[in-house]
Amino acid sequence: MPELPEVETILRDLRRKILKKKIVKIIILNNKILAKNSAAGLNGREIKEIERIGKLIIIDCGGKFLLVHLKMTGQLIFTRKDFNPDKHTHAIIEFNDKNKLYFRDVRRFGYMKIADKKAVIREKAKYGPEPLSVGFSSDYLKATFKKKKAPLKSALIDQKLIAGIGNIYADEILFSSCLNPKRAAESLKEVEIKNLIKATNKIIKKAIESRGTSISDFIDTAGAKGGYDKFLRVYGRKAGDKCFRCGREIKKIKIAGRTTKYCSNCQK
């Protein structure tokens, strides 16, 4: 958290708000987030483009790139008004029009990093295809899952295999496609792979349209929460709650170190 829909929401906000603006300076309040001497290299540079791969935001500053990963609790807040940085504010980017972009992160797992074009290419190569992309196909998943004994939930959140899916949407996708998160990825039949792709694309598309899920710390660049919470069917529910589909109890287990909720009756 944030996952693909939340980061896409932030990306679209940033394109509207900071594209073509010049960076006056970057104030670093926590050297673990970004070294001060690295940040100085972006002063005076114009924001040429902003893109995303998976959960990683890539800001093109004309020959140099600012990579931003929000990890679990990171936030980017854009405002013209005075904003009092608290102890969780780790960096402030000031623009030539007096607006500022604040990087906050309660748990401090997120980061900002300066990179050149070659480093960006190497970074992108670490990711698999995204949902909603041409590369996210039955043929791709069939080849990827072949001989993969890892649990299906683990495969879905492995960024090297599929970019952008995390704990929230993995649980929702598996519930929607009636697949047990404990099943070996290699066990999926072709029809189940097609159902998984259909459920993934439907959920991710709807979550983007709803501007993400704010069951935890996510807010957009204006501080507003996402609207997908009301569509959640299994994530965030308690063990023992009744399944919305069959009425049986929701189970809670750990897979790849992540809390996982599912219905053992519906999801086979």
Catalytic center residues = 2-3, 55, 258
| β partners of residue 17 | none
d(CA 71, CA 110): 5
Q: Is the peptide bond before 181 cis (omega within 30 degrees of 0)?
A: no
Chain position carrying tokens 């704990």: 167
